[in-house]
Structure 1
Amino acid sequence: MGSNGLIEGKKVIFSTGNIMSISDITKKPSQNSTQELIDAIKFTLKDYEKNSELSEAPNDTRFILRSDDIQAKIQENDLEDLKIGLKVFLTNDSEELLDEALKTALSWQLKVKKVTDVIVSFKKQELEQKADNLEEIKKIWLVLENYVQNGIVDELGVADIEEPTFRALYDWAKIKPNIIQINLATCCVVPPTLQSFCKEKDIKLFTHSDSSDILPDESVKEVFGAPLDLQWAVRFTIHIKCRGVLTTKGYCLCMSPKD
């Protein structure tokens, strides 16, 4: 499907809505996050073409959303009974883009004042697997700390950084990371030293299968039929705490024309 004039020199922010309400996606529980996101974007574009629900902000940013049941799902329970998690996929270390991603997810997508946790993933070259840039991570971490200090986020985490980098971040950070995610596709066994460190510091250690490059260039061209840049993507998940039931899941992302 082409971009159909949606971009035209403008930044576009998409909301896939609650993909748990799309049976064609929920029937594929084993697909990876990239394919899930691609399918969700395609459904969002189809919905847009049908309903033309497009709004435009004064700063030449367009918002395209799929009509769904997110607010109804959230309002079925007290916010205190929900575990709301955000995973932010960044393409660079821009504090402005991180702030935009979080504010978009909180205020526009979910319309909540607080979430349980935020995990940040930095894009890496899959073949090169460049070394972590601690200074880049610190810049981003300072933005995240502000969200905790302002009572908007309870816990912070990072994905797919090396153990020495994680230890250095932990020692440096004013607000310590509570969560680390390890991709078993690149690390077959979680290092015992990292397991011990996390146990000692009461850090949640999780494994996952997300690619740090969640929407590669070839996937962008497949979906939009145009060369666009992914600025950021956020995946949101909402569980009912007492039962651990996933009720809501989806993505919001920002695309811009290539320079």
Structure 2
Amino acid sequence: MKIILSTSNIMTAGPSVIRFYTAKSNVELINSLKSNFQAAQQSASYNENNGQANDANSWTKKDGDTLYIPAIDFAQSGLHEDRAQYDITVKLFYLPGIPASRRCAHTREAIDVVLKELHVDSIDLLIVSFPSVSFDADDEPEEDDEEGSRTGSGSRASESTEQADDFESIVKTWHTLETLAENGKIAQLGVAEFGTERLAKFLSQTRIRPSVDQINVKDCCVVPKSLILYAKQEKIQLLTHNDCTDILPRGTTRELLGSGDSNAEISTSAPVPGDYLQGDIEPQWVVKYTAVVKDRGVIENKGYFALAEVGSCIKTHDRA
């Protein structure tokens, strides 16, 4: 059984969500999910009290082997204007502890649900975040000259992290992205947290090169000169962010689906009667999407989807 969690469009949500707009991605995700759960529950309860629904739990929906929390009306487009008016950016987080062999399927699942939500056939930019990759400015090589020749400790950083990075699996995942791009679903591809040495090694393995490298500069605001020069040389745009790679830990997912203030209240670790998910709940991926109106520079739609799998028995009603 799969579970898809969604925040809906957080740009049209209440102040409790908008207040976290500039927060780190994990904070924004959790608060947005809780807010959307609460809004959906209140709407279902209101409809039931007014004779418009038979079940206050109709705020979720089961479709085949997938449970949507809350229910999503894919019949309504998430955009108000023609597709050509938007720049659509998607960031896909592959989560720690999930086998790399699942990433190809996860990529297609995540992209498909965003396309379905926004009623579009393609996105403009997909950035992928690998859990084993982190950027550290201290590991960047020193520069000999302004042409970008590299010396110093960069090779040491690459060698020391090669095993953790699982470079071969990253390249294999990238080939899936290339296929999606060649099929017209993605216009541009990007990576996250790639330093100079890793980026140089990676480029030689690609058919479609990343057009963006998104890095977290943490507490400093200075991008290393070596990376700036190399990215310029390779015509790769550098962007910064404040996301975290472990955006949705397993314990947090279980808590979200359990009882408590603003939680879903549909899961439990103990077998009990009723509409409860039973068994281990393992988050698989998280995707963040943003649709910006080009001529106004306004974010019209921003949200998150997360997919989790239930590893054991499930008790839940089919919900229309």
**How far off its partner does 1:29 sit?**
3.4
- Is structure 2 residue 30 aligned with structure 1 residue 38? yes
Distance 1:205 1:125 in 2: 16
Q: 1:144-191: CA deviations, max 9, x gaps?
A: 101110111100001113332222221220011001111112876422
Aligned ranges 1:7-26 → 2 under 5 Å: 10-23=1-14, 24-26=16-18
- More strand per residue: 1 or 2? 1
- Is structure 2 residue 150 aligned with structure 1 residue 146? no
* Equivalence for 1:63: 68
* Equivalence for 2:255: 222
Residue identity opposite 1:57 in structure 2: D
Aligned ranges 1:67-106 → 2 under 5 Å: 71=76, 74-75=79-80, 77-91=81-95, 92=98, 93=100, 94=102, 95-106=104-115
Q: 1:120-161: CA deviations, max 9, x gaps?
A: 0112498xx874222111111011101110111100001113
* Equivalence for 2:243: 210
- Is structure 2 residue 122 aligned with structure 1 residue 114? yes
Aligned ranges 1:194-209 → 2 under 5 Å: 194-209=227-242
**Match for residue 131 of structure 2 among 123, 142, 152:** 123
SS in 2 for 1:177: coil
Q: Which moved more, 1:47-56 or 1:149-158?
A: 47-56
**In 1, are the aligned partners of 2:4 and 2:306 still within 8 Å (CA)?**
yes
1:152–1:30 distance in 2 versus 1, CA, 3 Å: closer
**How far off its partner does 1:115 sit?**
0.7
**How far off its partner does 1:65 sit?**
3.4
**In 2, are the aligned partners of 1:16 and 1:66 still within 8 Å (CA)?**
no
Which sections of structure 2, spanning at least 5 residues, go unmatched? 45-57, 135-160, 259-267, 269-279, 313-320
Distance 2:192 2:34 in 1: 27
SS in 2 for 1:197: helix
**How far off its partner does 1:22 sit?**
1.4
**How far off its partner does 1:242 sit?**
2.1
Q: 1:224-250: CA deviations, max 9, x gaps?
A: 236521111110001011222111100
**Root-mean-square deviation (Å):** 2.7
- Is structure 2 residue 87 aligned with structure 1 residue 54? no
SS in 1 for 2:187: strand
Residue identity opposite 1:43 in structure 2: S
Distance 1:231 1:106 in 2: 19
Using structure 2 for the length normalisation, give the TM-score. 0.69
**In 2, are the aligned partners of 1:16 and 1:41 still within 8 Å (CA)?**
yes
Question: Percent sequence identity over matched residues?
Answer: 32
**How far off its partner does 1:66 sit?**
5.9
**In 2, are the aligned partners of 1:47 and 1:67 still within 8 Å (CA)?**
no
Which sections of structure 1, spanning at least 5 residues, go unmatched? 1-9
**In 2, are the aligned partners of 1:132 and 1:161 still within 8 Å (CA)?**
no
**How far off its partner does 1:96 sit?**
1.3
Larger-gyration structure (1/2): 2
**In 2, are the aligned partners of 1:17 and 1:69 still within 8 Å (CA)?**
no
Higher relative contact order (CA 8 A, sep 6+): 1
Using structure 1 for the length normalisation, give the TM-score. 0.85
- Number of corresponding residues: 246
* Equivalence for 2:277: none
Q: Which moved more, 1:244-253 or 1:223-232?
A: 223-232
SS in 2 for 1:172: coil
Distance 1:39 1:232 in 2: 18
